[in-house]
Chain A
Amino acid sequence: MSINEKEIEEKVKQIIAEKYGVDPSELKPETRFIEDLGADSLSTIELVAELEEAFDIEIPDEVVEQNQTVGDAIAYVIKKVKEKEKKS
């Protein structure tokens, strides 16, 4: 059963919110990981690993730095999930 974009967005926000101890409603597309959520390199790797496990996708390290906001991360996960669905 495929997961729709809204569900992906909610799930990504939930994972980010748990990771950084904020309420999911506080997360906006423009919320920045480092400046607004206090992310460091370790918590970023943890977050990426949790997203990979939650959506059964692989996120290469080189794209992690390109995703600097919550909106970037949601868009990237949606793209990867769709790619995976196309292949299957």
Chain B
Amino acid sequence: MAKYCPRCGSPNVEWVLPQTWSKWQCKDCGYIGAVIIEDGVKIQPFVFIEGPSAIGRDTYVMGRALIREGVTAGPVVRLGGEIEESIIHGYTNKYHTGFLGHAYVGEWVNLGAITTNSDLKNDYSEVEVYINGKPVKTGSLKVGSIIGDHTKTSIGTLLNTGTIIGVMCNVLSTDLSPKYIPSFTWYYAGRLSKGSGLRRMLRTAERAMARRNVKLTDAERRLFHYLYEMTREERENYIKRYSKRRV
């Protein structure tokens, strides 16, 4: 995979050694920095990319995107809005305006326009995340969202500090999201549900993947069936608990 200089576009870039921090040097124009752009990346006008950041192959960076330090994204990702200190896996769309910070986003995720995550609490206290139904202290003041593969958010979704969302979720949020959304659920109209069911979720995944000329493999299909069963009890418990809490 060729890497390109963000200043002159030359592929003649090498790591600066010894590596104490991720720095690259362009042998043609002399650029020394920590931004790396892989093959096939398209960057529209008025984009700001701060290092260290790595933009993976065939990624589109939309006009006026503000990509601040610590972003690793790609391959085949759409990047827009403001992103900071985040890892965004392949084939995910974060196309529109909205802030994503200190986040970890899986593959094939689609973040609707103005989807924004909080990564800092208003009282500057340590962020807790929910793991196995229990709050766990992270030891950090800045934690954004962790979002599983194939999850979608609607326009205007607001994700609370340290929100964890499972795989294949559909978050249609009109208020601040819950801190934990189990895999294969919908958060919609202020409540959690089983959504459209695994069969339809897999069909949606197939459609999304076909748009990038990728097929959902039998192995992936089996994996999602396995995950669906593995998370069934937790999902059902959360849906029950959440509906009681909201009543």
A residues sitting closer than 8 Å to B (CB atoms) are 42, 45-46, 48-50, 52-53, 58
On whether the beta carbons of A49 and B194 are closer than 8 Å, the reply is yes
On whether the beta carbons of A46 and B196 are closer than 8 Å, the reply is yes
Interface centre among A45, A48, A49 (most CB of B within 10 A): A49
Known: A42-B172, A42-B186, A42-B188. A50 touches B196 (CB 8 A): no
Q: Can you list 7 A-B contacts (CB < 8 A)?
A: A42-B188, A45-B196, A45-B200, A46-B193, A48-B197, A49-B196, A49-B200
Query: In the complex, what residues of B have CB within 8 A of residue A46's CB?
Result: 186, 188, 193-196
Query: In the complex, what residues of A have CB within 8 A of residue B188's CB?
Result: 42, 46
Q: How distant is the Cα of A69 from the Cα of B197 in the complex, in angstroms?
A: 22
Query: In the complex, what residues of B have CB within 8 A of residue A48's CB?
Result: 196-197
Q: A49-B195, A50-B194 are in contact. List 4 more A-B contacts (CB 8 A).
A: A46-B194, A46-B196, A48-B196, A48-B197
Kindly provide the distance from the CB of A31 to the nearest chain B CB, expressed in whole angstroms: 20
Interface string of B159-198 (1 = CB under 8 A from A): 0000000000000100000000000001010000111110
Kindly provide the distance from the CB of A58 to the nearest chain B CB, expressed in whole angstroms: 7
B199 within 8 A of partner (CB): yes
Q: How distant is the Cα of A46 from the Cα of B199 in the complex, in angstroms?
A: 12
B residues sitting closer than 8 Å to A (CB atoms) are 172, 186, 188, 193-197, 199-200
Residue of A nearest to B199 (CB): A58
On whether the beta carbons of A49 and B172 are closer than 8 Å, the reply is no
Query: In the complex, what residues of A have CB within 8 A of residue B195's CB?
Result: 45-46, 49
Residue of A nearest to B170 (CB): A42
Kindly provide the distance from the CB of A81 to the nearest chain B CB, expressed in whole angstroms: 17
Query: In the complex, what residues of A have CB within 8 A of residue B172's CB?
Result: 42
Query: In the complex, what residues of B have CB within 8 A of residue A53's CB?
Result: 194, 197
Query: In the complex, what residues of A have CB within 8 A of residue B199's CB?
Result: 52, 58
Q: How distant is the Cα of A45 from the Cα of B172 in the complex, in angstroms?
A: 14
Q: How distant is the Cα of A50 from the Cα of B200 in the complex, in angstroms?
A: 12
Kindly provide the distance from the CB of A19 to the nearest chain B CB, expressed in whole angstroms: 9
Query: In the complex, what residues of A have CB within 8 A of residue B186's CB?
Result: 42, 46
Kindly provide the distance from the CB of A24 to the nearest chain B CB, expressed in whole angstroms: 17
Kindly provide the distance from the CB of B52 to the nearest chain A CB, expressed in whole angstroms: 41
Query: In the complex, what residues of A have CB within 8 A of residue B194's CB?
Result: 46, 49-50, 53
Q: How distant is the Cα of A58 from the Cα of B194 in the complex, in angstroms?
A: 16
Q: How distant is the Cα of A52 from the Cα of B199 in the complex, in angstroms?
A: 10
Question: What are the nearest 3 A-B pairs in CB distance?
Answer: A49-B197, A45-B196, A49-B196
Q: How distant is the Cα of A50 from the Cα of B186 in the complex, in angstroms?
A: 13
Q: How distant is the Cα of A72 from the Cα of B199 in the complex, in angstroms?
A: 23
Residue of B nearest to A53 (CB): B197
Residue of B nearest to A19 (CB): B193
